Each structure stands twice: as C-alpha cells, then as structure tokens.
C-alpha cells in the first residue's frame, strides 16, 4: 500500500476545468448546490483514494500501470489473460523463459496484490517488477489476479474473485485450452500455492479456507499445497502494542489511521473491525483448529504496525496444530518488497524471495 503522505497529484483538477465550472455555476444556483454535494468528501487517504458523498470514487494515478509487454531482463514472459469478460476479471501471467527448456513442470503461484482492498492493480509497476523477479528467481509460474476493489465492491467480492479465478484455471486446464496452453502447459497443478501481500494476503488466506470448505473444489487436478502470507492485513477493535506504539517514518505505507480507513471502506456496511474478514481471532470467528489449511508461510516486517497481529496469528495457527513457518524481516516496514522505501528493502526482498523459493520446493 503506497504511502498516504505522498503529495496529491498536481493535475488532479485541471485549471481549465475549474475555470469552466466557475463560469457555469455562476449562472446556475441549482447546479452550484449540486456541485457542493458532489464535492463533499466522506473518506480520503491522501494521494490514493477519495470517496465522495454521492458515491463517486477517485483514485489518483500515484503508481504507474505498465503493460505486460514491458521489457524484462530477467528472462520472464508476461501476458494478460481475461478470466471473465462480463465482470472484467483478469490476471497477469508470468512464465520463466527457462520453463520452455525443462521437462519438469513448475509450481503455480496465484498472487493477490495489496492496497487495503481499495487501491492497487495487477498492472502496477511495482508489482510487475516484484513478480517478474519472483517468477525468475523462484522458478514458478505466477497468475496475478486483478480483483474488484472496495468501496464499490466491498468484501467478500475480492474473495469471490479469487475463487472464481481458481475455478477458471481448473476449467481451462480440464478443457485443454489452446488459448491458455502457452502457460498452463508449464504448470504442475498438484503444486498450487496461494500468495499475496497485505490485503492480498488476507484474500489468499480466505480463498484457501474456502477451498477446503467446499466453495472451490480441491481435486487432484487443482491441489493446494501451501499459502504464503506477506504482511497479512488483519485487524481488530482492540489495538495491539505495535499498532499503538510503532513509530512510523514519513514514507510509511501503512499507519493506523490509514488502516482504519481501509477497513471502513472494505468491510460490509455496519461491520466493525471484529468482523471475521478482519479479525480472525475474534469471538465468533471460524476456529482455526477446525480449518483444513495446508502449510502456511507468514512473512512479517519488523517495523510494520501489523507486526504483533501477524505474529499473534502465526502463533494461533501453530497452537491449532497447523504447519506454519514464520519469518521476520528486520529493519523494514509494510510493503518494503514493492515500495523499496527502506534502506534494507532490496536485501530483505532478496531474502524473502529466497525463502519463498525454498517454501515452494519443500
């Protein structure tokens, strides 16, 4: 999640637009009143998202989107694929070029980007760079899902999109799709992993639980082998120590106020942060011991406000008898692997990619 402290796009409203609007409103009192209603902002994370009272949502282009054809020096082919044209659900696929020279099939990693459920895209340059690097160094095929965003599409829409993406993969593989053969032919469907960072990690976890609760078939063709949760975005009404006391630098990707805003925009209307989508350990949530989860890797950033909540979640998984591997990355904060906003970001990102590669091949 990009920093809410970044300056707003200076071109957010052009001077020409403001000038023409002023002229028209001067001669139309009713339009002036309507415009005032439209300009009332109910929620805002500076530079990232602005929600108006009339329901309009604005997302400044703070992070550039790039084409899948952007040249890569890492030996990876990337292409966009349409999952559902009617709902505009699509994904970006990354395949190591070396896969063409191997007879061995590669793990399939289905990835969900971060952004508090409200911003972000599979086309964002920072994710294109990170996932190109991950596919190359971890030697895996990656399907990065561009799910629908809140508040226009509140949870559980993103979870639905994740499950629909998996069902599409299964259907295309079963049908022997010629269109998708260029990447499916390199995938070991019995070595499927779900992964994501921040809100994307939350989505990966919820899709994984649905797979084992019957919402998505877990068959020999599509067998979930593991889940990788990078700084998973969870919350709760009661604050943790790191949420209350972790001092965040000016370039922090996630502060407590930003986190609260994301949850207000993403959760079902009227829900609190103790809703099961947000607080997995709250009373009334599905008990971890009753869930059939595969091996889980939890990547924690030492300077992240989510640190203590992530560690609490990992410990709860272990106590529930689940296989969990927890790695804490020192000296970095939230989204360090995509924003490179800490001095140690690069080296810690390479460490994390190495750990993910080992997890995929264990």
Task: Give the model confidence (pLDDT) of 343-357 as tens digits.
Answer: 999 999 999 999 999
Q: Which residues pair with 80 in a beta bridge?
A: 92
Residue-wise pLDDT for 225-259, tens only, equals: 999 999 999 999 999 999 999 988 888 999 999 99
The residue whose two tokens read 């259907």 is: 171
**How wide is the angle at C-alpha 193 spanned by C-alphas 192 and 194, nearest 5°?**
130
As given in the structure block, the two tokens for residue 116 are 């508090």
Locate 29 and state its tokens.
Answer: 């009192």
Residue 198 annotated as catalytic: yes
Burial class of 139 by CB neighbour count within 10 A (0 to 12, 13 to 18, 19+): middle
Considering only the C-alpha atoms of the chain, give the largest distance between any 2 of them, rounded to a whole number of Å: 72
pLDDT digits (tens, 9 = 90+) for 295-330: 999 999 999 999 999 999 999 999 999 999 999 999
What integer is the mean pLDDT of 151-173?
Answer: 97
Dist. CA 344–CA 354, nearest whole Å: 16
* H or E segment and range at residue 83: strand 76-84
Q: What is the CATH number of domain 69-361?
A: 3.40.50.1820
As a whole number of angstroms, the distance between CA 56 and CA 38 comes to 8
Q: Give the C-alpha separation, 303 to 190, whole Å.
A: 36
Q: State percent of the chain over pLDDT 70.
A: 86
Contact 55, 76 (CB under 8 A): no
State the residue for tokens 């269109």. Answer: 179
Amino acid 4: pLDDT: 38
Is the sign of the CA dihedral 260, 320, 348, 350 positive or negative?
Answer: negative
CA 201 – CA 81 distance, rounded (Å):
22
Whole-number Å distance between alpha carbons of 101 and 120: 34
Phi then psi for residue 188, to 5 deg, are -95, 100
CA distance 222 to 167: 9
Q: Name 196's bridge partners.
A: 112, 229
Mean pLDDT over residues 69-96, rounded?
Answer: 94
Sign of CA dihedral 277, 280, 285, 291: positive
Which two tokens mark 189? 């469907």
Confidence band, pLDDT 50/70/90 cuts, at residue 35: low
Pull the structure tokens for residue 51. 């929600």
The catalytically annotated residue of 121, 198, 314, 345 is 198
Q: Is 14 exposed, middle or buried (0-12, 13-18, 19+ CB in 10 A)?
A: exposed
């Amino acid at each position: 999640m990009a920093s809410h402290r970044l300056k707003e796009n200076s071109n957010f409203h052009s001077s020409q637009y403001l000038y023409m609007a002023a002229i028209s409103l001067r001669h139309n009192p009713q339009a002036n009143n309507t415009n005032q209603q439209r300009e009332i902002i109910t929620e805002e994370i500076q530079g990232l998202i602005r929600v108006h009272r009339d329901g309009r949502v604005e997302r400044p282009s703070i992070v550039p989107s790039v084409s899948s054809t952007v040249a890569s020096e890492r030996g990876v082919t990337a292409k966009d694929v349409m999952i559902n044209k009617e709902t505009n659900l699509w994904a970006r696929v990354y395949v190591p070029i070396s896969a063409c020279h191997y007879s061995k099939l590669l793990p399939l990693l289905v990835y969900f980007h971060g952004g508090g459920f409200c911003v972000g895209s599979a086309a964002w340059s920072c994710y294109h760079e990170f996932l190109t690097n991950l596919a190359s160094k971890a030697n895996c095929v990656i399907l990065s899902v561009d799910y629908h965003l809140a508040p226009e599409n509140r949870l559980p829409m993103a979870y639905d999109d994740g499950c629909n993406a998996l069902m599409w993969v299964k259907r295309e593989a079963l049908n022997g799709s010629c269109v998708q053969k260029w990447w499916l032919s390199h995938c070991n469907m019995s070595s499927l992993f779900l992964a994501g960072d921040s809100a994307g990690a939350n989505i990966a976890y919820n899709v994984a639980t649905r797979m084992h609760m019957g919402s998505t078939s877990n068959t020999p063709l599509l067998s979930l082998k593991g889940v990788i949760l990078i700084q998973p975005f969870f919350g709760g009404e009661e604050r943790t120590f790191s949420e209350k006391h972790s001092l965040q630098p000016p370039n922090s990707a996630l502060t407590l106020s930003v986190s609260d805003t994301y949850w207000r925009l993403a959760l079902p209307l009227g829900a609190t942060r103790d809703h099961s989508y947000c607080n997995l350990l709250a009373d009334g949530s599905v008990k971890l011991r009753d869930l059939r989860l595969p091996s889980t890797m939890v990547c924690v950033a030492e300077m992240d406000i989510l640190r203590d909540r992530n560690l609490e979640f990992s410990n709860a998984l272990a106590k529930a008898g689940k296989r969990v591997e927890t790695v804490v990355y020192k000296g970095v904060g939230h989204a360090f692997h995509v924003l490179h906003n800490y001095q140690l970001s690069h080296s810690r990102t390479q460490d994390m990619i190495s750990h993910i590669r080992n997890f995929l091949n264990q």
